[in-house]
Structure 1
Amino acid sequence: MPEDFAVTVGAGTLAPADGDALALPHRWTAEGVRATVSFTGAHLLHLAVAGCVLNDLYREAHARDLPLAGVAVTARGGFAPGTWASTGVTYEVRVDTTATDAEVALLLEVVDEVAEIPRAVRQGVPVSRPTAPARSG
């Protein structure tokens, strides 16, 4: 069974309580964002997806005047043995809000459409390296 490279990012009432969680400032929350993540390329890819979704949930909720006391996003996926091709990324969202179920459902739909990193990953992202090696001074 392929390894599951899961990460969780959270803010507000749903921020991870793990003392080892990475803490980062965040435009939309006074306490910042906390992430449980290992430092591997696979985890960092999933962190980018989860972090983007969390950020856009706050942005879009603010634009719609929906209160969010907390948000947690877990992104996960695997990679094919030998090639390290992604087998796909899935993400789950939990929200602590007084908004109605219909408002939350619409918010999740909008964020799934506008979140930049998931959109880029879905399209395929060309990655290149300059041909000349970089050398430090």
Structure 2
Amino acid sequence: MHLSAHISSSAEQLHAAVQTNDAAKTLLLPAKPNGQGAAINGGELLLLALATCFCNDLYREAAKRGLALTAVRVECTGEFGAAGEAGRHFQYRAHVEAGAPAADIEALLRHTDQVAEVHNTLRQGLAVTLTW
């Protein structure tokens, strides 16, 4: 699976898109009031990526277990300091509603935490390389 993300910004216009293999999708992101960049910062989007990954993976893993989820809520938090500093204190919590015993839901949460790809990528660390 090949993924990509693109953003372009100029004169109060912002265009953001993501793609997995051949499936491209456009995202609506607000531009900064001065038109220079996005009003949403990368840290917020990183936390949203963690929340989205865990939410989607909960549904995927629940289906494998024959569990029908009726609602999922995921909240991610973290901190960023001065410019150039890495983020820290990343945490997340999830709430799942399903017609299943609490023990089954807890097992689903624990298992999904182990297989969530974005989480595992950050946990292992990765190289991010600028090319031109």
RMSD: 1.6
Which stretch has the larger CA shift, 122-131 or 39-48?
122-131
Map of 1:16-31 to 2, 5 A cutoff? none
Give the secondary-structure state (helix, strand or coil) at the position aligned to 1:99: coil
1:105 equivalent in alignment to 2:99? no
Which residue type is aligned with residue 98 of structure 1?
Answer: G
Give the secondary-structure state (helix, strand or coil) at the position aligned to 2:69: coil
Give the secondary-structure state (helix, strand or coil) at the position aligned to 1:110: helix
Which residue type is aligned with residue 101 of structure 2?
Answer: T
1:82, distance to aligned residue in structure 2 (A): 4.1
Q: Which has the larger radius of gyration?
A: 2
Please report the TM-score for the alignment, with normalisation by the length of structure 2. Answer: 0.67
1:40 equivalent in alignment to 2:41? yes
CA displacement, residues 19-38 of structure 1 (integer Å, 9 cap, x when unaligned): xxxxx9xxxxxxxxxxxxx7
1:39, distance to aligned residue in structure 2 (A): 1.6
Give the secondary-structure state (helix, strand or coil) at the position aligned to 1:88: strand
Which residue type is aligned with residue 106 of structure 2?
Answer: A
* Count of residues in correspondence between the two structures: 95
Which residue type is aligned with residue 92 of structure 2?
Answer: Y
Which stretch has the larger CA shift, 84-93 or 60-69?
84-93
1:126, distance to aligned residue in structure 2 (A): 1.0
Identity of aligned residues (%): 38
CA displacement, residues 1-49 of structure 1 (integer Å, 9 cap, x when unaligned): xxxxxxxxxxxxxxxxxxxxxxx9xxxxxxxxxxxxx721000111111
**Displaced runs of 4+ in structure 1, greater than 6 A?**
none
Q: Which has the higher contact order (CA 8 A, sep 6+)?
A: 1
- Show the counterpart of 1:129: 130
Please report the TM-score for the alignment, with normalisation by the length of structure 1. Answer: 0.65
CA distance in 2: counterparts of 1:74 and 1:114, whole angstroms? 18
- Show the counterpart of 2:54: 53
- Show the counterpart of 2:70: 69
1:76, distance to aligned residue in structure 2 (A): 1.0
